[in-house]
Chain A
Amino acid sequence: SYELTQPPSVSVSPGQTATISCSGDKLDEAYVYWYHQKPGQSPVLVIYQDTRRPSGIPERFSGSNSGNTATLTISGTQSTDEGDYYCQAWDTSTYVVFGGGTKLTVL
């Protein structure tokens, strides 16, 4: 089955840039999506189709996908950006695949 690998945790200082990676075999042959989940809340889509931001998502969120790695970049990170981030892709056998999640800490 297809797997997506994310680092368990990432730390960043307020105002700095946070990068969260998502790795999978030939990942750039599929679109990647990113969700943000705060404790006790449901996930929120922040990036779709590799680089696109849904309405209402701040411009500081951006995404890229090349080779075996997709990256979520948060510029000028704020305390409200803390939480868990999940990448997601579509696989022909497994259908929807999620990464294991990355806990972002802003300190």
Chain B
Amino acid sequence: QVVLQESGPGLVKASQTLSLTCGVSGGSINSGNYYWSWIRQPAGKGLEWIGRIYASGYTNYTPSLKSRVILSLDASKNQFYLKLTSVTAADTAVYYCARGRGSAPGTSPSRFYYYYMDVWGKGTTVTVSS
């Protein structure tokens, strides 16, 4: 059974870079046709998808954050990472990592294109302070 665990600083100063790690246990980050995603949720609000990375390094980012986000992974450590630059108070949220299942990278969108997150970490709270 795959388990994901987020880790990183709980407090980040405004204008600095938020860096989080997601450790994967119970399975290899390289095995299977999986993506590895980050999602966040401000207190009392809904879910916001940040982006995903495939084992090959293929990435997609949500347009609203694309200029500030970098996802990466280290298969030797079975971990993947989120970096969010130039943070503001609006980036304060619970950050989740999740395993994604979807159509292979580069697949042309169609009615049968699919992507969803089937295993989630417990989440980690990040507060941006001024």
Which residues of A, 1-51, contact B by the 8 Å Cβ criterion? 1, 29-31, 33, 35, 41-45, 48-49
- Check: B47 CB closer than 8 A to any chain A CB: yes
- Check: B74 CB closer than 8 A to any chain A CB: no
Residue in contact with A101 in the complex, picked from B37, B46, B113, B122, CB distance below 8 Å: B46
B60 touches A95 (CB 8 A): yes
- Check: A80 CB closer than 8 A to any chain B CB: no
- Check: B25 CB closer than 8 A to any chain A CB: no
B120 touches A43 (CB 8 A): yes
How big is chain B's contact interface, by range?
Answer: 20 to 34
A-B contact pairs, 25 of them (CB 8 A): A30-B111, A30-B113, A31-B114, A31-B116, A33-B116, A42-B122, A43-B96, A43-B117, A45-B118, A48-B118, A49-B114, A86-B46, A88-B47, A90-B113, A90-B114, A90-B115, A95-B49, A95-B52, A95-B60, A95-B61, A96-B115, A97-B49, A98-B48, A99-B46, A101-B46
- Report B59-98 CB contacts with A as 1/0, cut-off 8 Å: 0111100000000000000000000000000000000100
A42 touches B118 (CB 8 A): no
Residues of A within 8 A of B (CB): 1, 29-31, 33, 35, 41-45, 48-49, 54, 86, 88, 90, 92-101
The residue on B at minimum CB distance from A32 is B116
For A43, what are the chain B residues with a Cβ–Cβ distance below 8 Å?
47, 96, 117, 120
Residue in contact with B111 in the complex, picked from A29, A48, A97, A100, CB distance below 8 Å: A29
Residue in contact with B96 in the complex, picked from A30, A42, A92, CB distance below 8 Å: A42
For A33, what are the chain B residues with a Cβ–Cβ distance below 8 Å?
116
A88 touches B116 (CB 8 A): yes
For B96, what are the chain A residues with a Cβ–Cβ distance below 8 Å?
42-43
For B63, what are the chain A residues with a Cβ–Cβ distance below 8 Å?
1, 93-94
For A96, what are the chain B residues with a Cβ–Cβ distance below 8 Å?
37, 49, 52, 62, 115
For A100, what are the chain B residues with a Cβ–Cβ distance below 8 Å?
46
